[in-house]
Amino acid sequence: MATDLRLPANKIVRPDKDRFLHEENPFEAMMSRFDRAAELLDLEPGIYKVLRHPEKQITVSIPVQLDNGDVEVFTGHRVIYNTSRGPAKGGIRFDTAVTLEEVKALAAWMTWKCAVVNLPFGGSKGGVLCDPFKLSVSELERLTRRYTAGIIQTLGPDSDVPAPDVNTNERVMAWVMDTYSMHVGHTVTGVVTGKPVEMGGSLGRREATGRGCMLSTREALQHLGMPVAGTTAAIQGFGNVGSVAARLLGFEGVRIIAIGDRSCAIHNSNGVDIERAIEHVRKHRSLEGFDGGDLITNEELLALDVDVLLPAAMENVITSRNAAKVRARIIVEGANGPTTAAADSILEEKGIFVVPDILANAGGVTVSYFEWVQDRAGYFWSEDVVNDRLREIMTKGFRDVIDLSRQHKVNMRTAAYMLAISRVATVHRLRGIYA
């Protein structure tokens, strides 16, 4: 780790605070952290301006013939935030809450996340404003293919590589890959990650984000001199990230005393039986009706007296309204943006150690990177190799951030942003501005 990331002479950036309209706007949440790190880095104004703007924003109208013969037109976005370090990398979400602002924020987050763990990628994100639960499988397929056709100019293993995100999955990635391949005239597996293993996906990808959360938790406990076995944890969100993290933390001897999802939360001070809970969700699609503990609310889960709180559901769950009630010693952000910028200072005053999202949940994009590498090489790794290399990268990322946080006497989030921004800024300086 270089000792000082600050530039020797240039002016300190003066962030335009007037732009921050309200706490829960994700782009503002991201930008306020970006500004703080940019100030501490003495980032020169030119690069500051470049990094505050996405490279490209595409909005497409997506006509889809519904099963009943009607035609509906959906709106989709793809934002390429930054490609200075390599091809853009970022998921596609199908959701009723998709906005261009949200997609922009998520694309910027991907840029910083890839840089924190030093992957040779930039950041992007895509989203289609729709309610996927109201569409049939064939409608979803037509929507996916037409959206892919709409943004096809940006896609490609060397330019922009999507992955699954909220309400998209392996099957959706298979359609994106097929549509792209049909357009270019040959099979291109490396155009998406998070594909089925049978068609170029990577072993270990499905578990990678939860595994990364487990590794981050282990590092954080070790850093604070706390034993791993016997610590307690509460996990909000019991989908891909939350359930895998719960299982793997359980293997490490952590007692998971609460889990929660959209339907309810369950508390059991002796430890929730995670395998039973996973089986329940597999059968019933939610925790509703699970009898492995007492029912509590999601707000109560966030305020439990535990060693580790792992929000792994959605954005903006720890805000200025409830941050003071959090009693955990460590927060490991499995979700993207679970803590608002206004809550950061409250958590810091309380001495809570936060492993920020751009580090804690980077396991997913790390194994996506492995998938892209394997596709390009046409040579596939065993799951053990994937998991070992994931551990190396997550551990190194965690230690780089810790070093920087000590050096600059800042918290983990600010240090993670400083590390990411300095890496992206360095490449901009080296490449210069094309004109």
Cite the active site residues: 125
The answer to whether the CB of 236 falls within 8 A of the CB of 310 is yes
Q: Shortest gap between Cβ of 142 and ligand NAD (angstroms)?
A: 22
**Selected binder of ligand NAD within 52, 56, 171, 262 (CB under 6 A):** 262
193 binds ligand NAD (CB under 6 A): no
**Selected binder of ligand NAD within 26, 86, 260, 397 (CB under 6 A):** 260
**Selected binder of ligand NAD within 267, 364, 402, 410 (CB under 6 A):** 364
209 binds ligand NAD (CB under 6 A): yes
**Selected binder of ligand NAD within 127, 190, 200, 334 (CB under 6 A):** 334
Spatial distance between the Cα atoms of 67 and 105, rounded to a whole number of angstroms: 34
Q: Which residues pair with 71 in a beta bridge?
A: 65
Q: Which residues pair with 75 in a beta bridge?
A: 61, 129
215 binds ligand NAD (CB under 6 A): no
239 binds ligand NAD (CB under 6 A): yes
Select 237 or 293, whichever has its Cβ closest to ligand NAD: 237
**Selected binder of ligand NAD within 114, 312, 355, 419 (CB under 6 A):** 312
Contact segment (CB under 6 A) with ligand NAD among 5-13, 239-247, 345-353, 383-391 equals 239-247
Contacts of 372 (CB under 8 A, 6+ apart): 157, 161, 190, 193
Q: Shortest gap between Cβ of 190 and ligand NAD (angstroms)?
A: 18
144 binds ligand NAD (CB under 6 A): no
Q: Shortest gap between Cβ of 434 and ligand NAD (angstroms)?
A: 32
The answer to whether the CB of 288 falls within 8 A of the CB of 266 is no
202 binds ligand NAD (CB under 6 A): no
* Phi, psi for residue 10 in degrees, rounded to 5: -65, 170
Q: What angle do CA 312, 316, 321 make, to 5 degrees?
A: 120
Contact segment (CB under 6 A) with ligand NAD among 141-149, 312-320, 373-381, 412-420 equals 312-320
The answer to whether the CB of 132 falls within 8 A of the CB of 167 is yes
Task: Tell me which residue has its CB nearest to ligand NAD.
Answer: 239
Q: What angle do CA 331, 301, 274 make, to 5 degrees?
A: 85
Spatial distance between the Cα atoms of 305 and 234, rounded to a whole number of angstroms: 9
What is the CB neighbour count within 10 angstroms for residue 78?
28
Contacts of 18 (CB under 8 A, 6+ apart): none
56 binds ligand NAD (CB under 6 A): no
Q: 154 to 183, contacts with ligand NAD by CB under 6 A?
A: 165-166
**Residue closest to 165 by CA, chosen among 100, 241, 59:** 241
Select 40 or 366, whichever has its Cβ closest to ligand NAD: 366
Q: Shortest gap between Cβ of 39 and ligand NAD (angstroms)?
A: 27
Spatial distance between the Cα atoms of 108 and 250, rounded to a whole number of angstroms: 33
Spatial distance between the Cα atoms of 57 and 59, rounded to a whole number of angstroms: 7
The answer to whether the CB of 213 falls within 8 A of the CB of 332 is yes
Strands (E), 36-139: 56-65, 71-82, 88-95, 122-129
Select 6 or 389, whichever has its Cβ closest to ligand NAD: 389
Each residue 392-421 as x (binds ligand NAD by CB under 6 A) or -, in order, gives ------------------------------
274 binds ligand NAD (CB under 6 A): no
Q: Shortest gap between Cβ of 55 and ligand NAD (angstroms)?
A: 22
Select 123 or 260, whichever has its Cβ closest to ligand NAD: 260
Name the site residues for ligand NAD (rule: CB under 6 A). 165-166, 209, 236-242, 260-262, 298, 312-314, 334-336, 361, 364
